[in-house]
Amino acid sequence: MARMKVTSNRVLAGAAGVPSARRAFLAMLVAPTLASARQPRLPVIGPAPAFALVDQKGRALSLADLRGKVLAITFVFTTCSDTCPIVTAKMSAIWRRLGTDLRSRVHFLSISVDPLTDTPERLRAYAAKFDADVPGWSFLSRDGFRVMLGECADAIPAGELGDHSYYGYITVTDIDALHDEYQRREVQFTQRLADKPWGMREFGIRTIDGHRLMFGQEL
């Protein structure tokens, strides 16, 4: 599970072990001055990317709606039968331990990696199984969103794979140079480098073990 705090459009992130979760939240929320004096702050990775998704009640949720909150984020899908239920159950246990005061400062996000299957109705039923359909916890998906970005007409939903998606999307800073390097290495391309209508310059490759990766850079 990742722990993130959005402040001034920047993300603070670090590993969050379940046994020390309450202590970690207290250090971040209750005594920031003492925390900075006793232990180093989490590194600033960079600007938090904007997003607009749909929650389990069919309501739109964007990053701007969560500004100033500590975010606890996991990625799941409702047909997952191994790690997702374990992670969600642990998140639910953490939620119950936070108490009313800390809950007002934290927002939990469980983001589906199988939005083709996970409608708001399915997400709400999934949340209810873990007593997680509560204020301050959003189960998110996106209408019409493929397993990952890119024109993958033969994309297989994660639920049919029995595991998380074979697709990965990586944002880079010099996509033309990377594309040229992969050409020199005779990598198998699934999509050639091109500017996309959604404001990204992208290309895709297939790895030697059969996975597919998309690379993108903002135009």
When pLDDT is averaged across residues 26-30 and rounded to a whole number, the result is 46
Whether the pLDDT of residue 113 is over 60: the answer is yes
Domain 166-218 coded CATH 3.30.830.10: no
Whether the pLDDT of residue 35 is over 60: the answer is no
**pLDDT higher at 6 or 183:** 183
Please report, for residues 161, 172, 182, 207, 216, the alpha-carbon distance to residue 189 in angstroms, rounded to integers and kept in the order given: 22, 17, 9, 9, 14
Average pLDDT of the chain to the nearest whole number: 74
132: number of Cβ within 10 Å: 20
Whether the pLDDT of residue 156 is over 80: the answer is no
**pLDDT higher at 165 or 100:** 100
Tokens representing 61 are 């949720």
CATH number for the segment(s) 2-140: 3.40.30.10
136 CB-side CA count, 13 A: 20
Q: Where are the domains of the chain?
A: 2-140, 166-218
> Model pTM?
0.52
- Integer Cα distance of 120 and 118 in angstroms: 7
